[in-house]
Amino acid sequence: MASHQSAIKRARQNERRRLRNKGYRTRVRNAIKAVRAAVSEKAADRAQEALATAVPLIMKAASKGVLHRNNSARKIARLSKSVQGISQPSQPAQA
């Protein structure tokens, strides 16, 4: 345990930040799960709505420093790609 004053204060600050970041991370994970669930059910409308709510949450978490900006960009890109995959009919390969 911290024994001097600055270390005690730092421990208090870290705990507050951990709890705040935990809330952001939980919201982001739940939003991602909602998008993936809609994609797995092939519900294009619901997937697009879920994506529209998930993207701002992911971006906000990145701006707060909870997620790294490249990590958030990767999550958004992968979710967008999966939603695009179900919303557009598959086209036959060109020979």
Q: Note the pLDDT tens digit of each residue in 73-92.
A: 999 999 999 999 997 766 66
Classify residue 12 as exposed, middle or buried by CB count within 10 Å of its CB (0-12, 13-18, 19+). exposed
pLDDT at site 84: 94
pLDDT at site 87: 77
Residue 1 pLDDT greater than 90, yes or no? no
Q: Note the pLDDT tens digit of each residue in 8-61.
A: 999 999 999 999 999 999 999 999 999 999 999 999 999 999 999 999 999 999
* CA pair distance 1, 78, nearest whole angstrom: 42
Domain ranges of the chain: 5-87
CATH of domain 5-87: 1.20.58.110
